[in-house]
Structure 1
C-alpha cells in the first residue's frame, strides 16, 4: 500500500504503472514485488545507519572539526605566514633593494661606461678594418672562382656530357627494354598467384563462416539475447527496487529520528529545563542574595579598610622620614620669592608721563 501511494505521489498519471506492467510482460511483474520486499528489508537498516552517521558527522564537524580547523589555521598563519610575510617585507625586500643598488653601482654603471667609451670606438675601428680586409678577400675570391669555374667546365662538365650522350644513353635504352620484358613476366606470375590466393581465401572464408560465424550468430540470437533481456529486466527491477527502498527507508529513518528526538525532548530536555527554571534559578537567586552579595560587600569593605590603613601607614612613614631628615640636616633653605606678575597700572607707561616701568627706580 505504501509503495503504491509513493508511486502515486511521485507525479504522473495513476494509470502509468498498469501501462508499464502491460508493456513489460509477466516476467517483470512477477519479479518486481519479491525483489522490492527483499531490497526494502535489506536497505532500511543501511539507510538508518547512514542517517545516523550523517547526523554524527555534522555534529562532529560543527563542534570539533571546524573549531579545530580554525585554530590550526590561525596557528599556521601565526607560525608560518606572518613570520614569512615579515621576513619578506622587512628583510628580503630591503636586502634585495640594497643588492640591486650595489649591482647597479658596481656593475651596470661601469659596464655602460666601458661599452660606450671603450668597446664602441674599438668596435667601429675593427669594423672599418674588417670592411677593408673583406674587400681584398672578395677580389681574390672572385678571381679564384672564375679560374675554378673554367677548370670545372673543361675538366668535368664537357667529359660528363660526352659520356652521358655516347655511353650511358645506349646502355640505359638496352636496360629499359630488358626491364619491360621482366615486367610482363612479373605481371603473369602475379596474376597466377592472385588466382591461387583468391581460391584459398574463398575456401577459408566459407570454412570460418560455417564452423564459427553461423554457430556464434545462432548462439547470440537464440541464447545470449533472451538471457540478456531477462537479466536486463531483473537488473532494472533491482535498481528500481533500490530507489524505492532507499526513499521508503528515508521516510522510516526520518520518522524514527523524529520519535527519538521527541522522546529525548520530553524525557531529558524538558525535565532539565523545568529543573533549571523552577529549581536551580530560584536557588541561585537566593544564594546570590543571601550569601554572595553579603560576602562581596564584606570583601569590598575589608578592601577599603585595608587601603585606608595602608594609606595611613604610608603617610606616617613619610612624616617620620621628614622628621628624621630635619633632625639630622636641619630645615632646608627656602628659595627667595621671585615676582612673576605683570606690572600694575601705576607702574605701567602712561600717555601723560615720560617714565616707564623700565626707567623707574
Structure 2
C-alpha cells in the first residue's frame, strides 16, 4: 500500500522546485545573520506552500497532513530553518485557526496569512514552563466587558515578526491547570513587546521572547471556548508533532546528500573516501535510518488523514524517532566530512545544529516517551 498519492507527489515536486530556486540562495544568509526571509515567505504564499492544509478558499494549499509533511520535507532538505518557520506558521498557527477559530476570524485572517502578507505565531511556551504547558502563568483577566492579557512567552517561532498571535492564557486559578486555559487570537499592537533570541540552529526563524502588557481582547477574539483552550492546544500539538517529523526527514536527507557528495569527491590514501567499506556502511546506515523516519512520518500523517484512532500514539512515536534519527544522521554526516564537517563552510555542520531542536521543540524526547507510555497504559 502506498501512503502517498499522485497529488502528494505533485506537491513534493512544487515544494522541491521552490526550495531549490528560492530558498537555497538565502540559506547561508539565514544561518549566518539570523536573517528572517520575509520576501521568500511571500513567494511561498503565492504557491500555497506556506499553509499547505488551509482550504483553497482562503488561499491555502488545500491539502491534507501528508501534503504538509511532504512539503516540509522538501523545504527541510534545503533549509531546516525555513522549513521550521513554515511548519510553525502553516500548522501551529494557520491550521489551528482553520480548525478552531470562528468563521469571522478565519475570513479576516487566513487569506492574509496564506498569501504571506501577514505572519502568525503560536504563543504557548513560557520561561516557567515549556514541557508543562498546563502550568502557564500568562493571565487573561475580565475587566469591564473585556479581557486584559498580561504574560511572558518564550521560544516563539516567528514571534519577532508576527502580526497575529494565538495566545494561550490562564482564565482561572493556577490550581485548575489545563481546565482554566483559553486561547485568544490577538493582533499585534503597542502592547506587544518582542526580543529576538539568538539560537544555535534553525536560525532565521524569528524565534523570540514575547511579552503581553495589558493587551485588550474581546470575547470575539477567543478561539474555541472560555476555559476550553486545552483542547485547541493539544490538537494543535498532536498535528504539529507529525508535521515537524517532515522537517526532520528533510534535514536528515540534506545532511546525507552533503556527506555522499563529499565522500565521492574526497581523496584519502590515494583512494576516494567512498571506496572505503566503513564509509559505505555509514552511508547505508544513514540511508536506512532516513527511510525509517520517512515511513513513520508518512504513516502518522496517513492515520490522521483517515481519522484513525491510532494517530495519537503514532504522532508521538514519529516525533520521537524521527528527531533522534535526524540528530544521528547529521552527526554521521559531520563525521564523514571530518575537519571540513566541523567548519562553518559545511552544510552538514548547519544541519547538525538544526537537528538538535527537533529533540526539544514541540515536545522533548522525554515528554514523547511519557505520553507514549501513558497511551500504552490506556490500551491505545
How does the TM-score come out when normalised to structure 2?
A: 0.16
Q: Which structure has the highest helix share of the two?
A: 1
User: Greater Rg, structure 1 or structure 2?
Assistant: 1
TM-score normalised over the length of structure 1: 0.17
Higher strand share: 2
